[in-house]
Copies of this chain bind each other. A is one copy, B any other.
Amino acid sequence: MTQNIYDNEDFFAGYGALPRSVDGLAGAPEWPSLRALLPDVTGLDVVDLGCGFGWFCRWARERGADTVQGFDVSEKMLARAREMTSDAAISYERADLETLDLSSGAFDLVYSSLAFHYIEKLERLFSVIAHALRPGGRFVFSVEHPMLTAPRRPRWIGDGDEGRVWPLDNYLVEGPRETDWLTKGVIKQHRTIGTYINMLIACGFTLSHIEEWGPTDAELAARPDLAAERQRPTFLLVSASLQN
Given A172-B212, A194-B211, A159 contacting B167 (CB threshold 8 A): yes
Contact A167 B169 (CB under 8 A): no
How many copies of this chain?
2
What is the distance, in angstroms, from A193's C-beta to the closest C-beta of chain B?
6
Q: Which residue of B lies closest to A229 (CB)?
A: B172
Binding site secondary structure of chain A: mixed
Contact B169 A164 (CB under 8 A): yes
Given A159-B153, A162-B153, A207-B201, A193 contacting B212 (CB threshold 8 A): yes
Task: Among B153, B166, B194, B210, point to the contact of A169 (Cβ < 8 A).
Answer: B166
A172 vs B168: C-alpha distance when bound (angstroms):
15
Q: Which residue of B lies closest to A196 (CB)?
A: B210
Contact A198 B209 (CB under 8 A): yes
Interface residues, chain A, with chain B CB atoms under 8 Å away? 147, 151-153, 157, 159, 162-173, 192-194, 197-198, 201, 206-212, 214, 229-233
Which B residues are CB-close (under 8 A) to A172? 212, 214, 229-233
- Which of the listed residues A153, A169, A209 has the most CB atoms from chain B within 10 Å of its own CB? A169
Given A147-B147, A162-B152, A206-B206, A194 contacting B168 (CB threshold 8 A): no
A194 vs B194: C-alpha distance when bound (angstroms):
11
A192 vs B166: C-alpha distance when bound (angstroms):
16
Contact A210 B197 (CB under 8 A): yes
